[in-house]
Amino acid sequence: MTIVIENPQEFKNWRNANKGKTMGFVPTMGALHVGHESLIRHAKNQNELVAISIYVNPTQFDNKQDLQNYPQTWEADLKVAKQHKVDAIFAPNYAAIYPDNYTYSVAENSISKTLCGASRPGHFDGVLSVVLKLLNIVAPTRAYFGEKDFQQLTLIRGMAEAFFLDCEIIGVPTVREKDGLAYSSRNQHLSAHGRVLAGQINAIIKTAGDTNQASARLKSIGFEIDYIADVFGRRLVAVKTNETKTGSAVRLIDNVEI
Ligand code: PAF
């Protein structure tokens, strides 16, 4: 049975009642896709209990439009959670998770200002703040994050170390479609042509000799480059395209090991 808990104290009570059991936790913003299912599978394999959270966190959106366009697919998400025999879904609202109205936040002053953080001011403070809250409420043994958001994963690992968190942070390899496109809730906004172009991103960043070459190749097929950089032993990229269903730009990220 999958239980849904909205209240942080109720979740803590449920966790306390299961204190003796290992728990794997997958934080999400819903719109669950194959990538999330892989995180849940990893959590299931390594723990006695599995919890996920579904919460579209406003403090990590620098752009209101992006927040408004974020897909909300509660019924489908519930079905996925049940299929995977997730034990609990934590689904708070803003008042429950931000009783302080975001007057308190976690700030990282180095890595978070670069790459995605440079073009999305405040984004990682929002991510780190909500993840810290979620980890404190859920008290998992292990928490699972996709390698697709590699900068996010690096920062969450750093926060867990910096604040001596009692939870192992596990990175899970990116799940890709046949042409190499990383699964993302944003992919559904792409037009048919945009979807074909997006399928080339992974091969380009993998095969280009350096970031300049990769950048030139991505530009030549119409992408606007937000950044491309070799860091953390990876090549990280963020690109924008207007080849979308609505005409408003979609930002896609990916990374490969180098
Ligand atoms: O990766 C995400 O979906 C979000 O950034 C997270 C970790 C659930 C925090 O809101």
Tens digits of per-residue pLDDT, 179-194? Answer: 999 999 899 999 999 9
Per-residue pLDDT at 127: 98
Q: Is 149 in the pocket of ligand 1 (CB under 6 A)?
A: yes
- Catalytic residue, chosen from 36, 84, 123, 189, is 36
Report which protein residue has its CA nearest ligand 1's atom 5: 127
Asked, for residue 113, whether it belongs to a domain, the answer is yes
The DSSP result for 76-118, as a single string, is HHHHHHHHTT-SEEE---HHHH-TTTT-S-----SGGGSTHHH
Q: Where are the alpha helices (DSSP H) in the chain?
A: 8-17, 34-46, 64-69, 74-83, 94-97, 116-119, 123-138, 150-162, 192-198, 201-207, 211-220
CATH number at residue 222: 3.30.1300
Q: Which of 172, 201, 217 is the last residue of a domain?
A: 172
Percent pLDDT > 70 in the chain is: 100
Q: Are residues 87 and 136 in the same domain?
A: yes
The domain tally of the chain equals 2
Mean pLDDT of the 37-44 span: 98
Q: Which of 148, 172, 196 is the last residue of a domain?
A: 172
- Rounded to whole angstroms, how far apart are CA atoms 229 and 212? 9
Tens digits of per-residue pLDDT, 103-131? Answer: 999 999 999 999 999 999 999 999 999 99
Asked, for residue 74, whether it belongs to a domain, the answer is yes
Q: Are residues 8 and 134 in the same domain?
A: yes
Do the beta carbons of residue 146 and residue 184 sit within 8 Å? Answer: no
Asked, for residue 135, whether it belongs to a domain, the answer is yes
Distance in Å, CA 209 to ligand 1 centroid: 32
Q: Which band of pLDDT confidence, cut at 50, 70 and 90, is reported for residue 14?
A: very high
Asked, for residue 233, whether it belongs to a domain, the answer is yes
- Whole-model pTM: value is 0.96
Distance in Å, CA 108 to ligand 1 centroid: 16
Q: Which residues pair with 255 in a beta bridge?
A: 236
Tens digits of per-residue pLDDT, 59-113? Answer: 999 989 889 988 899 999 999 999 999 999 999 999 999 999 999 999 999 999 9
Q: What are phi and psi of 94, to 5 degrees?
A: -60, -45
Q: Are residues 197 and 123 in the same domain?
A: no
Q: Is 39 in the pocket of ligand 1 (CB under 6 A)?
A: no
Q: Which of 172, 203, 222 is the last residue of a domain?
A: 172
Could you tell me how many residues make up the chain? 258
Domain of 204 in residue numbering reads as: 185-253
